[in-house]
Amino acid sequence: MKYVYAFGGGTADGDGKMKDTLGGKGAGLAEMSRAGVPVPPGFTISTEVCNLYFNNNNQVPKEIEKEVDQALAQLEERMGQKLGDTGNPLLVSVRSGAKFSMPGMMDTILNLGLNDRTVKALEAKSGNPRFAYDCYRRFIQMFGNVVLEIPKDEFEHIFDARKKKVKAKYDTDLTAADLQAVIADYKKLVQKKTGRPFPQDAGQQLVMARDAVFRSWWNQRASHYRKMNKIADDLGTAVNVQAMVFGNMGDSSATGVGFTRNPATGAKEFYGEFLINAQGEDVVAGIRTPLPIAELEKVMPEVYRQLFEITGMLEKHYRDVQDFEFTIQEGKLFMLQTRNGKRTGPAAVKIAVDMMEEGLISKEEAVLRVDPQQLDQLLHPVLDPASKKNLNRIATGLPASPGAAVGRIVFTADDAVEQAPRYPVILVRKETVPDDIHGMEVAKGILTARGGMTSHAAVVARGMGTPCVAGAEELAVDEARKQLLVRKSGLTLKEGDWLSIDGSTGEVFAGQANTIDADPSSGFLAKFMGWADEFRGSFGVRANADIPRDAKAARRFGAEGIGLCRTEHMFFGPGRIEHMQAMILARDEKTRRKALQKLLPLQRKDFAGLFQAMDGFPVVIRTLDPPLHEFVPKREDLLVDIAILPYADIKKKRELVEKYKEFGAEVRNLKTVLPELLQRVEELHEFNPMLGHRGCRLGITYPEITEVQARAIFEAVVQVARKGVKVIPEVMIPLIGGVQELADQKAIVDRVAKEVFAKAGMTGQEYMVGTMIEIPRAAVTADQVAKEAEFFSFGTNDLTQTTMGLSRDDYVKFSKDYENRKIFKADPFAVLDQEGVGQLVQMAVKKGRSARPELEIGICGEHGGEPSSVEFCYRVGMNYVSCSPYRVPIARLAAAQAAISGDKSETMRTA
């Protein structure tokens, strides 16, 4: 088996299709060599050797060592030089190169082969002592840092001290003598830190450098990058050993990096930077300010023309934007790397559209070129990068809802509502609760110290398109004192202080950043999404929306209906919550109905607004789902308030009246109202409310709740239909465990529909009654459930909880341990667990359709907007996914890519 592949000089053992074996860099070097591009010769040690190295007690097997020695000998013969030779030494670079681009995550060593003797040969050969010693000091620093693991700043301290001593403004101002002094100090540092002199044997240097590059696959930043970008840990990195070319030989030499198109905007322009008399790390390290690549045309016009032609040819060859590195040695151009360039979301879309219209790629390829998650960047405002640099980053939490938000801190929902008309606010909470909804609605952003990616704050914020950072545990929120404490630094922020959050990265900054507005209606995005929809076909994308404003946003982003309207969110807010609480506190059906009747016109108005906004698209309305205790005060708060009541002064009593005014509290009756309220709260108290009296169980115990909600739905249908708007209502019963519960609730819905339509004289109005599949028993008995249900919608948030026995709110406490140890590949509440929960979903789809072939099936959990989960939903034969409005374009693109992949079950999608 072959493990080492040569390249350069117009030939190569490998090619550009061998990224699995050669890594991206090695494959690019091989392909460029075959195309006749000027590439310094070298060889690539395959990615498989990396895994063998780790499996062999951090040693390269001896038979592979022989193959490396043979490749080195061939390189020496080709170059007419020999590694370690004191007359004509071969110098090489040693670089990493994984299958997927991981820029800056692993290690590189340049100028390998230099020692106290070969540096003199380099000096004699070049006639340039400054150049020779500059190369040697760079090599010792890189080798010392990467291989010997001496902190880089210790070398930089020595270098900066020499510059200061001789009053050198730039690195290039140091003389050969200065650099020799630096080298002497570097070698002393190595001796001090390692107890050994700097290695002088060039062969030993190569082995040590190669092994260090292999080890860099598991350094902290590379591991984190792989986790962040979902790159498998077992791929390994290749090692590229390449003859050195030098950009630091004087003013006729240079080094640079570039892109064939602008990676930030997508504009078709030659984009990049270079430095004269420098080596590659100088450009990326920011040691000197690089020049725009356009300046190269002025100083080296012929080289610029050649570079422009070669990179243009490479873009056409790879049919994608190229990220390239080059070195110019005494006026001669060498290409060191080409790879498909990373780009922003806006750039990805524009480049895909432009390349298709240029005839470079097909429409299908254009749709596949954009990562669905990148569309987030086009749909939300972002923090201005220049502005971020000037602010103090105080924490990094979970990027729960993308986009940027800047505002003044408030600590309660009521304060948010009160202050939002005057200035933008960021709602800061330990964690949000459902009755914060009115404050969340007006806040520009939401920050919580607790909670995960599917916490209340995260789910609601995404539905609203509001930026949110959740679980920022570096912060302590004192809501009583209205203070935000940064644990590490001790910094305290108060109500009214400016705060900036980035919901796309999880970063939190003290101070007021500038934002850049996104433009979701741009021409190239609209065109691109039109192409995606062509491939998506009949597979639908709906939105989770509870109010008309969200429904209109959903339509703007291309939603084809509402897949989940959570009616409980309609009950919060002034003029509503008090009627809901009166219903809950009622001791008999008559009193409950009286309170419900006051809610009916309000719900009817809300539903009418949704039907109007959707105009011909389906609207799935879920009947009341959460346990009733969520609508009343917390038991613990009541116990505390009752305990302090006997000692309260008039000011405190007025505070209590304000807190409990919805329950009829006045100063004179606090002593009776609070204990009565506590008694009812005690009656509603449950040990495990998420598995308690909620969902369809509420409707079965209190059928008047389901009845009033159904009446509001169908009266709204009549109202909107009479205006000539096509209305497609779908009533969804939540949390059923079996067909009997659904049958009970469906009978109420059907009876009310019949009554309302008869009274209105309306015939032929269609509607459906279905259920949310979120309990494993409902999934395994789906064939029975489908005899009553006209549609299924998988509530995968709760289905994940009940299947895995895992609380989504508590999982965040140990999620990092599970994900770091690879127990879970990803957060199961963010990415659908296809091996476990997915099997239940697939079983339910199959069983449901066996009983009712035309059964409509969708998903309305948070997974409905996550690309890999959307692909799964498409593959198992669902009709649609539903997600927050701002993730609709992401789901549309993910579905289109699933369709193009050909991995679909069209025969199952019969509805």
List the catalytic residues.
Answer: 456, 860
Instruction: Give the side-chain half-sphere CA count within 13 A for 882.
Output: 30
User: Which residues sit opposite 291 in a β-bridge?
Assistant: 274
Q: What is the DSSP letter of 396?
A: E
Structure tokens at 389: 């640099």
Q: Are 290 and 275 in contact (CB under 8 A)?
A: yes
Strands 404-410 and 498-502: antiparallel
Which amino acid is located at 345 in the chain?
Answer: G
Distance CA 135, CA 173 (A): 15
CA angle 303, 306, 311 (to 5 degrees): 125
Strands 768-773 and 791-794: parallel
Q: Please name the residue that has the structure tokens 């979903």.
A: 841
Distance CA 27, CA 327 (A): 19
Distance CA 226, CA 220 (A): 10
Please provide the DSSP assignment of 633-698 as one string: --HHHHHHHHHHGGG--HHHHHHHHHHTGGGT--GGGHHHHHHHHHHHHHHH--SSGGGSS-THHH
Closest CA to 92 of 102, 101, 82: 82
Distance CA 865, CA 458 (A): 13
Q: Please name the residue that has the structure tokens 């019963």.
A: 733
SS (H, E, C) 325-389: EEEEECCEEEEEEEEECCCCHHHHHHHHHHHHHCCCCCHHHHHHHCCHHHHHHHHCCEECHHHHC
Radius of gyration, alpha carbons of the chain: 33
Distance CA 514, CA 502 (A): 11
Q: Are 284 and 348 in contact (CB under 8 A)?
A: no
Contacts of 306 (CB under 8 A, 6+ apart): 333
Q: Is the dihedral of CA 647, 652, 653, 659 positive or negative?
A: negative
CA angle 375, 312, 239 (to 5 degrees): 80
Contacts of 253 (CB under 8 A, 6+ apart): 246, 247, 276, 277, 327, 328, 329, 330, 331
Q: Where are the alpha helices (DSSP H) in 41-175?
A: 47-55, 62-79, 118-126, 129-146, 152-165
CA-CA distances (angstroms) from residue 318 to 18, 309, 321, 416?
14, 14, 8, 52
